[in-house]
Amino acid sequence: MNVSQIFNRTFPSTLRFLRGYTRISGTEINPNMQKLEYAVRGPIVMRANEIEKCLLSGEKRPFDSIIRCNIGDCQNAGQLPISFIRQVIAVATDTELMDSSVIPEDAKLRALRFLKSVGGSVGCYSQSVGVEVVREDIADYIEQRDGIPSNPDDIFLASGASEAVKFILELVATTKEGSQRAGIMIPIPQYPLYSATISEYNNYQIGYYLEEETGWSLSETELEKRLEEAKAHCTPRVLVVINPGNPTGQVLTRENIESVLRFAHRHNLLVLADEVYQHNIYAPDRKFHSFKRVLHDLGGDIAKEVQLASMMSASKGFMGECGFRGGYCELVNFDPEVRAQLYKCLSARLCPPVLGQLTMNVVVNPPKPGEPSYEKFCTQKSNVLSDLAKKAKLVENLFNELPGYHSQPVMGAMYAFPRLELPPKAIQAAERAKLPVDTFYVTKLLEETGVCVVPGSGFNQKPGTYHFR
155, 127 contact by CB (below 8 A): no
Query: Top-level CATH class of 110-364?
Result: alpha beta
Cα separation, 110 vs 377, in Å, equals 14
Residue type, 321: E
Cis peptide before 189 (omega within 30 of 0): yes
> Do residues 203 and 166 lie in contact, with contact meaning Cβ atoms separated by under 8 Å?
no
| Distance from C-alpha of 301 to C-alpha of 150, rounded to nearest angstrom | 19
Q: Report the 10 Å Cβ neighbour count for 206.
A: 24
**Cα separation, 222 vs 229, whole angstroms:** 11
Domains 35-78+377-467 and 110-364 share a fold: no
Nearest-Å Rg of the Cα atoms of the chain is 25
Does the global pTM surpass 0.85? yes
Q: What single-letter amino acid sits at 415? A: Y
Q: Looking at the domain that runs over 35-78+377-467, which CATH code has it been given? A: 3.90.1150.10
184 forms beta bridges with 205, 238
Domain coordinates of the chain in residue numbers? 35-78+377-467, 110-364
CA 227 centroid distance within chain: 24
Question: Could you give the 3-state DSSP secondary structure of residue 239?
Answer: strand
Sequential pLDDT tens for the chain (469 residues): 666 666 566 655 555 555 677 788 877 777 777 776 776 667 899 999 999 999 999 999 999 999 999 888 999 889 999 999 999 999 999 999 999 999 999 999 999 999 999 999 999 999 999 999 999 999 999 999 999 999 999 999 999 999 999 999 999 999 899 999 999 999 999 998 999 999 999 999 999 999 999 999 999 999 999 999 999 999 999 999 999 999 999 999 999 999 999 999 999 999 999 999 999 999 999 999 999 999 999 999 999 999 999 999 999 999 999 999 999 999 999 999 999 999 999 999 899 999 999 999 999 999 999 999 999 999 999 999 999 999 999 999 999 999 999 999 999 999 999 999 999 999 999 999 999 999 999 999 999 999 999 999 989 999 999 999 9
DSSP structure string for 184-196: EEEEES--HHHHH
